[in-house]
Structure 1
């Protein structure tokens, strides 16, 4: 199945078909699953047909113990290597002593022979 060649309604219909397969695997009737997720059987049939609310689909996945299928969608987006390189320039690379006016000649302590 090439998902990129499918239309949005075709994808939602395929998701509904998959929901039905999982329901049957769990040996649940449509009425049982609808009651468990708190929707009417008609609303469940809408989900299977590719309609309905995303929240109801997620509730159905939870009831069918398939919620882990959403894990990839909710994983943190990794920072690209280019972004990391850009951010790296903003990280501190070394410490520099500050020059104070109270030091003679405005020299850093190591330049004055002071051993800290």
Structure 2
């Protein structure tokens, strides 16, 4: 199925359908999957409808032994050496106080 032109809700629904198919292929009931994943039955039901939290979805994937699918789902991004140098150049190296704070400290002391 081409997901490029679908809404976020439609994509979530499709992912839920795929989770349901994987559960059925593993010959697990929703209750058994919930127990194996350590989540509630309602969380599994919501996951199969595409209305799951990210944590519940990950728990379901672990229980279905499908975590390897995450590498193709969201591949690890590589940063090019040039981008890395640019990012490092913007890192703060020390903290500075604001001029307003320095002036207030000088004005309040009356020695």
Which structure has the larger Rg? Answer: 1
Q: Give the count of matched residue pairs.
A: 84
Structure 2 gaps, min length 5: 86-111
1:76 deviates by 3.6
Secondary structure of the structure 1 residue equivalent to 2:20:
helix
The alignment's TM-score, normalised by the length of structure 2, stands at: 0.67
Structure 1 gaps, min length 5: 88-116
State how far apart, in whole Å, the 2-side matches of 1:46 and 1:68 are.
Answer: 22
Say yes or no: does 1:27 pair with 2:24.
no
State how far apart, in whole Å, the 1-side matches of 2:54 and 2:75 are.
Answer: 15
2:41 maps to 41
Which fold has the larger relative contact order, with Cα–Cα distance below 8 Å and residues 6 or more apart in sequence?
2
State how far apart, in whole Å, the 2-side matches of 1:25 and 1:79 are.
Answer: 41
Secondary structure of the structure 2 residue equivalent to 1:67:
coil
Q: CA RMSD in A?
A: 2.0
2:66 maps to 66
State how far apart, in whole Å, the 1-side matches of 2:75 and 2:54 are.
Answer: 15
1:77 maps to 78
2:6 maps to 6
The alignment's TM-score, normalised by the length of structure 1, stands at: 0.64
